[in-house]
């Protein structure tokens, strides 16, 4: 064994009483009561017990009980020197009991000290202490030497087995505590991830809708201040109302997605393209159900890309291509270029940063930039 193993205490989980089954507690108390009965019987079941000897015997039994309780406390607290001092006192009490004729209590104390030392002390201290206690027991016991040797070996083995059992129980308790902590951390991480997902959905859905409404309402306010005609003001108000209605629809879709009630991705893209003039959608590969996160990422990127086209390339022709493959799904949104629209100054979700974040969270990638004609956004997500 290493030096650390010789000087290592059994863990407090091993020395404590937590998670000990009821049958084991009852067995432990039965052993204690049996030992106490032997002490009392040995102290008072003798013709020589009378007068002051009776008082000494009663005080000895009480002292042994108090010292045993103190030993359990000090070993639980890993206090070496107090524990060793109490064991010496118990061994001395056994020697005194033997000297005044209380042989049975002395034997019980020596056996109990040996077993307790092996079970609850560091091995470097437990082995010498147990050796002294068992040697005293063997010297006093008047059985044949073979019986005494077998009993001594059995007591030593019992103490060490109790030590191994306690350490195994302590290790199981620590592993259980670590598992509970890991599960709690995992649940907290999942809750934080879900909160982040909800935050992204709310932001992506509402940000571009509210910002577009703000642009139209601000334009209506300026027209009113300038005394513009009723038709121009009404046009802006109607546009803002349309943006509000679209934002409400998108919010409902986002809530449905959070509840796992997603419409088929192909239908969503078709509906999205129908609302954009000059846009067409192409789907290749074998269609299949995607995980909710991957499906939602494709939806949001397509929505954001088309919004950017309306803002920065009004009137451009847009081609949306969704390609299924064995291990990934790819979305390609390409426009033919155009002039900035009236919503060019309005914010929209997280923009390219938000789209790239969605892709990276799923282990995918997003590329966006100009091409020969206009602008292209390409999303690849593993599935």
Most confident range (mean pLDDT) of 40-44, 228-232, 376-380 is: 376-380
What pLDDT, on the 0 to 100 scale, is given for residue 164?
85
DSSP-assigned beta bridge partners for residue 366 = 379
Residue 381 φ/ψ region, left for φ over 0, alpha for ψ in the -120 to 50 degree band, beta for the rest: beta
Is residue 376 classed as helix, strand or coil in its secondary structure?
Answer: strand
pLDDT tens column, 192-214: 877 777 777 677 667 667 777 88
Phi/psi of residue 373, each to 5°? -100, -55
Helix, strand and coil percent figures for the chain, each rounded to 5 = 70, 10, 20
> Quick check: 348 pLDDT over 90?
no
Tell me how crowded residue 118 is: count the other CB atoms within 10 A of its CB.
Answer: 24
> Quick check: 123 pLDDT over 80?
yes
- Tokens (6 digits) for 26: 């009852």
Where are the chain's structural domains?
A: 3-142, 263-383
pLDDT tens column, 247-259: 777 777 666 666 6
> Quick check: 3 pLDDT over 60?
no
Compute the average pLDDT of residues 302-315. 79
Separation of alpha carbons 69 and 254, rounded Å:
64
What pLDDT, on the 0 to 100 scale, is given for residue 329?
92
The least confident of 45-59, 97-111, 119-133 is 45-59
CATH number of 263-383: 3.30.565.10
> Quick check: 330 pLDDT over 90?
yes
> Quick check: 17 pLDDT over 90?
no
The least confident of 43-47, 113-117, 238-242, 326-330 is 43-47
Considering the chain, what is the average pLDDT of its residues?
A: 79
Q: Is the pTM of this model over 0.75?
A: no
What pLDDT, on the 0 to 100 scale, is given for residue 347?
44
> Quick check: 41 pLDDT over 80?
no
What pLDDT, on the 0 to 100 scale, is given for residue 256?
66
> Quick check: 313 pLDDT over 80?
no
């Amino acid at each position: 064994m290493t030096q650390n193993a010789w000087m290592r205490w059994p863990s407090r989980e091993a020395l404590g009483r937590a998670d000990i089954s009821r049958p084991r507690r009852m067995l432990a108390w039965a052993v204690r009561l049996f030992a106490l009965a032997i002490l009392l019987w040995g102290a008072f079941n003798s013709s020589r017990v009378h007068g002051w000897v009776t008082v000494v015997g009663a005080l000895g039994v009480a002292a042994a009980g108090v010292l045993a309780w103190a030993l359990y406390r000090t070993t639980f607290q890993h206090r070496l020197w107090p524990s060793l001092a109490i064991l010496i006192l118990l061994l001395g009490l056994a020697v005194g009991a033997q000297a005044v004729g209380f042989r049975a209590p002395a034997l019980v104390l020596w056996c109990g000290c040996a077993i307790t030392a092996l079970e609850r002390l560091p091995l470097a201290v437990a082995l010498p202490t147990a050796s002294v206690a068992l040697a005293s027991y063997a010297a006093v016991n008047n059985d044949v030497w073979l019986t005494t040797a077998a009993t001594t070996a059995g007591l030593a083995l019992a103490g060490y087995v109790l030590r191994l059992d306690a350490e195994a129980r302590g290790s199981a308790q620590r592993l259980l505590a670590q598992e509970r902590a890991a599960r709690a951390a995992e649940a907290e991480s999942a809750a934080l991830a879900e909160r982040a997902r909800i935050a992204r959905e709310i932001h992506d859905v509402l940000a571009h809708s509210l910002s577009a409404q703000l642009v139209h309402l601000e334009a209506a306010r300026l027209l009113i201040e300038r005394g513009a005609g009723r038709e121009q003001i009404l046009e802006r108000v109607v546009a803002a109302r349309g943006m509000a209605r679209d934002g409400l629809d998108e919010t409902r879709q986002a809530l449905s997605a959070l509840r796992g009630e997603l419409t088929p991705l192909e239908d969503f893209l078709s509906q999205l393209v129908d609302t954009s003039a000059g846009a067409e959608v192409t789907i290749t590969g074998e269609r299949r159900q995607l995980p909710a996160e991957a499906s939602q990422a494709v939806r949001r990127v397509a929505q954001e890309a088309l919004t950017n086209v309306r803002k920065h390339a009004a009137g451009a022709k847009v081609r949306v291509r969704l390609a299924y493959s064995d291990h990934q799904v790819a979305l390609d949104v390409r426009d033919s270029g155009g002039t900035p629209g009236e919503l060019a100054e309005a914010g929209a979700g997280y923009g390219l940063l938000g789209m790239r974040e969605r892709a990276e969270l799923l282990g995918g990638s997003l590329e966006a930039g100009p091409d020969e004609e206009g602008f292209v956004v390409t999303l690849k997500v593993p599935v």
